[in-house]
Structure 1
Amino acid sequence: MKFKTKSMIATGIILFISVSAFLAGFLQENYSGQAIDLRKEIAELQTDLDRMEAKALSLTSRDIDFTYSAIECLWEAFNKDLEFKILNSTLLEEERTNYIRQIVRSLQEVLGYSNPTMILHMYRVWDYYSNLDDFYIATEETDGYDYIIPRELWDSYISVYGMPVVELTPSEWYGDFFSYDAIQALPLVERPRDPLFGEMFVFESGGIEFLCDYFLFNPVRVLHDDINKKLNKAENLEAQASRIGLGVAMTTVAVVLSAAMANRLNQRKIEREFEKIREKEDRLAKKKRDLISIPILIIAIILSLLGVILPTFLNL
């Protein structure tokens, strides 16, 4: 009866340790799997981030060049108008017409440089499509990644800084020019005209560098922050899996010890049967006592418990 009790205890310990080892291994695999998936996602997002940043830098450089070129053309128009004002009384009609055309050409070149900038493109798209939520600079289908300016970013800018563009009539734009009346006397098709809005001219009003940083690089910064959050989460999962790995190692030792002691108890059972036979033949035979198996099983269960509990304390 006493030996049967030992055997039952050993079986219970083995079952407990086996379950503990399974749970520890399952948790480690779960955390490791999540970390691996996050690392893959982070790698893909980092590729998108690099593309977005390169695109933002390219557009910013282009729009700054366009803006300064537009300013140069406006300066040329202003200087040509000043020259026209000074020489007007001495000019022949053909020379006067030539001056007017040069001024108009310079003003039209201003529009040619300013209209393609991203800020004006966004304005025209959202002005025309009032219900459009997002402005796509790049799409997954065409470019292999999404680069989106959300409408809420546009609205947020307006609520803080006001409209990023200004609309000007001819008199508001070049009304102070000496040549203004002469330009307005030209046929409509020969006057400065916006290809979409006619004689309503749209220009950025917030500073091109600031506007590019605000609209083009904000999505880049948002994605960068998201990558950092995912990276921190992946590192935490990997650290947790490593701590649980210690528990797996300890429960593995416990399983080996418990299996060895279970085998020892089975061997003792066989020996016990032989002892009974020998007792019948020789009543003087002494019974052997097993003082090792149960203590080692107790050590095994302690190791198993430590394997489950210790990673939790290390996490704290």
Structure 2
Amino acid sequence: MPDHALVGVVRIPEMQSSPGRAISKRVLFALGALFAAVFIVYLDRDGYRDVQDNELSFLDCLYYATVSLSTTGYGDITPFAPEARLINVLVITPLRVMFLIVLVGTTLEVLTERSRQALKIQRWRSKVRNHTVVVGYGTKGKTAVAAMVEDGTKPSEIVVVDSNPTVLENAAAKGLVTVRGDATRSDVLRLAGTQHASAIIVAANRDDTAVLATLTARELAPNAKIVASIREAENTHLIRQSGADSVIVSSETAGRLLGLATSTPAVVEIIEDLLTPDEGFAIAERDVERDELGASPQHLSDIVLGVVRGGTLHRVDDSVVDAIEDGDRLLYVRKGPA
């Protein structure tokens, strides 16, 4: 699709300035154009004459520049020398146009917004690489994005795909790139740069939508890591066959926590603490350090939960990872920021 046709479908976030600041900038620009015209006319005042053939004073130059830039043009002061007329055509007229642009800046801004957005979309599509695509910005998608941002991911590196304009407005307000459309369609996921994404989170509200979106995403991005959430455990095999690397069953997970809360509420509190990276403890992943090679992951200063070797996660008590090797990654419990 041409970039101008994507305006309203793809939205690139931008810094919003306050109305007072925007107006102040326009006023300063208008004053700059005005005094530039005054300075030019004053330097070439010998080439102008008024109705009484008097030499122009600075006040006369200010008066002429004001009525000229505002297109009032009373005609009581006119350029008569060829040089003054040439300067008027080459300099004063462009300043007059810029002055008018400032005066009707709000209208012109609306008219040029589509072109600016098209240019921004073109630049973004040419540069976006190794980002994260989030399908669905409901409760699950919003929480997933918040967790990534808290863990250090820049909002500009996250693209949200949803068909609801209201939730996309909320996502854009948080600095996220948004794409409006059905995530089960390959053309919509292509607009989100899915083929260049490093990770894809499928947080759709329906399991059938999640399966189709995962299948489409895997076709576009064979090497991306896909994490999907479903409501019912019976659909786990379907979404894994569609290409999901990790599957989270939201209903069963919530059910287990509810059951644990009745008998061992402290366990639920610890789990919530581990899932909240901004305070207390958190589960994290890191590379092994040089002095840890050959050691047992159970005997490190950090509390190690598992070892990722060759893309496969092994529990810490698995004999395969009795000794840490170069290239391993440790899944451990770290203390969150105070």
| TM superposition score normalised by structure 1 | 0.22
- Rg: which structure is higher? 1
| TM superposition score normalised by structure 2 | 0.21
- The structure with the greater share of residues assigned to helix is 1
* Greater RCO (Cα-Cα under 8 Å, separation 6 or more): 1
- The structure with the greater share of residues assigned to strand is 2
